[in-house]
């Protein structure tokens, strides 16, 4: 399990002489270098994983691309999801022989994102102007609509009844197309 340091709110050491802690076998190649967020993500590419970003659910699928400040995660439910690096809460790679929902590779082929990727999350958002988008996995109906504009840090979405909804860019965790 990888948890970005920025999301740790507190830690404390608990010493219990009667409990042995079993350390699992690592899925990554052991290196003497310090690990980094980017290295963990690069090592997780192509591995079936669970990731938690927002709300009350996690997403299962495959990390396909790592950009400067976001990555693309492909799931059978949401397809290509662009995830801001600063909003990933945890990432858990599964054993290599585990597949999502026990789907065969024929039932769930790993597909690259159909859109060209920008280097940064804000550049990617600008590339999607005029597109129908789903923000933050669609948990809030006000985060589903046509991406109308981005002005500094404010995003304008046109929702289902055509009304404009304004959101602060820094609070957008994920974006995907239906």
Name the percent of the chain lying above pLDDT 90: 45
More confident residue, 69 or 19: 69
**DSSP code of 154?**
E
Q: What is the pLDDT of residues 119-130, one digit of tens each?
A: 999 999 999 999
Tokens 């129908």 -> residue: 132
Instruction: Record the pTM.
Output: 0.80
Tokens 């994920």 -> residue: 174
Confidence of residue 25 (pLDDT cuts 50, 70, 90): low
User: What is the DSSP code string of 55-110?
Assistant: TT-EEEEEEEEE-SSEEEEEETTTEEEEEEGGG--EEEEPPTT--GGG--TTTS--
Element (H, E) at 43: helix 37-44
Tokens 């699928």 -> residue: 61
Confidence of residue 174 (pLDDT cuts 50, 70, 90): very high
Name the percent of the chain lying above pLDDT 70: 82
What value, to the nearest 5°, has the Cα angle with vertex 74 and ends 150 and 161? 40
The pLDDT, as a whole number, for residue 110 is 73
Q: 11: which residues sit within 8 A by CB, 6+ positions away? A: none
Q: What is the pLDDT of residues 41-83, one digit of tens each?
A: 998 898 889 999 877 778 999 999 999 999 999 998 899 999 9
Q: CB-based burial of residue 162 (10 Å sphere; 0-12 exposed, 13-18 middle, 19+ buried)?
A: exposed
């Amino acid at each position: 399990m990888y948890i970005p340091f920025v999301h740790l709110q507190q830690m404390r050491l608990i010493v219990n002489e009667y409990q042995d802690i079993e350390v699992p076998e690592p899925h990554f190649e052991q290196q003497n270098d310090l690990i980094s967020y980017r290295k963990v993500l690069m090592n997780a590419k192509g591995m079936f994983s669970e990731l938690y970003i927002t709300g009350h659910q996690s997403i299962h699928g495959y990390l396909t691309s790592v950009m400067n400040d976001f990555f693309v995660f492909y799931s059978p439910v949401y397809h290509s999801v662009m995830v801001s690096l600063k909003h990933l809460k945890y990432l858990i790679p599964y054993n290599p022989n585990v597949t999502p929902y026990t789907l065969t590779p024929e039932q769930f082929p790993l597909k690259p994102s159909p859109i060209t990727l920008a280097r940064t999350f804000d550049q990617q958002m600008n590339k999607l102007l005029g597109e129908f988008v789903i923000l933050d996995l669609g948990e809030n109906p006000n985060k589903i609509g046509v991406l109308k504009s981005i002005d500094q840090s404010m995003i304008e979405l046109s929702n289902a009844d055509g009304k404009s909804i304004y959101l602060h860019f820094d609070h957008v965790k994920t974006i995907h197309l239906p």
